[in-house]
Each structure stands twice: as structure tokens, then as C-alpha cells.
């Protein structure tokens, strides 16, 4: 929850991308525990609000990992995933990700 709060600031999102947080989050998307997946998708949805976060998601290959959650059994994971992908579509680079 603290990480979600911190990442509302674009400077913190930039720093998170720079230190490699997205690689760790990408790994957690496949975690067995649904709460871990839920919080991970929540963090990514906060990051996707910011342009630097969306750029980071693209450049760190998080989108393919997210698509695995489109059929997640947990509603909130699917909801966050759809929100992230919607935000990604706002970037010119994000429009061609599904092809």
C-alpha cells in the first residue's frame, strides 16, 4: 500500500523505473498468491497513469506478462489489468502492442 501511495508522484515513478522495480513487479504478476497479484496490478495501474510509467512498462516487457492476467480468477486483478492496458493504448508505442 505504501508503494502505491509513493507512486502517485511522477518523480517517484521515474526513480522506480530507473532502479528496476518493473522487473520485480513483472515477476510478481505470475505469483500463486492472488493478493500478491492484486497488489502488483494495483501498483502497475498507478504507474500507468504517468507517461514515464507507461514508457517503462513498454520498455521492460511488462505488457506480455499482463496479458496472462486477462483471465485471472480474481476480479480485481482483471480490472486493474484492463485499466493498465487502456492507459497503455494512450501511447503511440502502446497501440501496436497487441499485434
The class (CATH top level) of 2-94 is: mainly alpha
Contact 80, 45 (CB under 8 A): yes
Q: What is the pLDDT of residues 48-61, one digit of tens each?
A: 999 899 999 999 99
pLDDT band at 1 (very low <50, low <70, confident <90, very high): confident
In whole numbers, what is the pLDDT of the chain averaged over residues?
89
Please give the Cα distance from 97 to 60 (Å, whole number).
Answer: 13
Q: Does pLDDT of 4 surpass 90? A: no
Provide the pLDDT for residue 99: 42
Contacts of 83 (CB under 8 A, 6+ apart): 45, 48
Provide the pLDDT for residue 97: 54
Contact 60, 23 (CB under 8 A): yes
33-37 — which CB contacts under 8 Å span 24+ positions? 34/72, 34/73, 34/74, 34/77, 37/69, 37/72, 37/74, 37/77
Q: Does pLDDT of 95 surpass 60? A: no
Provide the pLDDT for residue 6: 87
Vertex 75 angle, CA 71 and 78, to 5°: 50
Provide the pLDDT for residue 37: 96
Please give the Cα distance from 49 to 52 (Å, whole number).
Answer: 9
pLDDT band at 92 (very low <50, low <70, confident <90, very high): confident
Amino acid at each position: 500500500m505504501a508503494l502505491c501511495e509513493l507512486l502517485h508522484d511522477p518523480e517517484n515513478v521515474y526513480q522506480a523505473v530507473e532502479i528496476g522495480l518493473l522487473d520485480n513487479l513483472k515477476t510478481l504478476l505470475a505469483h500463486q498468491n492472488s493478493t500478491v497479484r492484486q497488489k502488483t496490478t494495483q501498483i502497475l495501474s498507478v504507474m500507468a497513469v504517468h507517461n514515464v510509467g507507461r514508457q517503462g512498462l513498454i520498455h521492460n516487457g511488462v505488457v506480455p506478462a499482463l496479458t496472462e492476467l486477462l483471465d485471472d480468477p480474481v476480479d480485481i486483478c482483471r480490472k486493474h489489468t484492463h485499466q493498465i492496458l487502456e492507459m497503455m493504448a494512450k501511447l503511440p508505442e502502446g497501440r501496436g502492442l497487441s499485434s
